[in-house]
Amino acid sequence: MKTKKRIVAVIMSALCVAALATGCGKVNIGYIDQSRIQNEAPQIKSSIEEMQNKLQEVQQDGDKQLQEAQAKGTSEEEMQKLQQQLQMKAAGVQQQYSTQIKSKVDAALDDVVKAKKLDTVVNSNGKDGVVVSGGTDITDEVIQKLQ
């Protein structure tokens, strides 16, 4: 029993040493400014504008439906249900476009990460960002991919 424990301990120690030895290299870190990407990348700007237009349409359609329901003398409870449905519709539109935008940014980011052989990328929003020193700013490359 003691022999098995010693063997397991020796194997675990060897694995830990091997893991430490392989991880002691230089780590290539990149960072992006997410707000710049949203403001400067044409694909993202157009998706945001499209989302805002769609939300405005949903809002106008919802207002029209609420006015019609109110004119018909719909009960307060039914009006609240209608408002909830309209809010859920707007949230669905927003979620759809947010997912679309995220997938576009992720695809462009993956291309840049592979090309620059980066190990990790962090979000650094200007002065308040995560990166204090070092790292590679890949914001411009990501924006370029989103032309």
Q: Please give the average per-residue pLDDT across 14-42, as a whole number.
A: 74
DSSP per position, the chain: -HHHHHHHHHHHHHHHHHHHHHT-S---EEEE-HHHHHHH-HHHHHHHHHHHHHHHHHHHHHHHHHHHHHHTT--HHHHHHHHHHHHHHHHHHHHHHHHHHHHHHHHHHHHHHHHHT-SEEEE--GGGSS--S-SEE-HHHHHHHT-
Bigger pLDDT: 123 vs 104: 104
pLDDT of residue 120: 86
So where are the chain's domains?
A: 27-145
**Between 76-116 and 42-71, two packed helices, what is the crossing angle to 10 degrees?**
170
- pLDDT of 8 strictly over 60: no
Asked whether the predicted pLDDT for residue 6 surpasses 80, the reply is no
Under CATH, which number does the domain 27-145 receive?
3.30.910.20
Per the confidence metrics, is the pTM higher than 0.75?
A: no
pLDDT tens readout for residues 37-80: 999 999 999 999 999 999 999 999 999 999 998 888 888 899 89
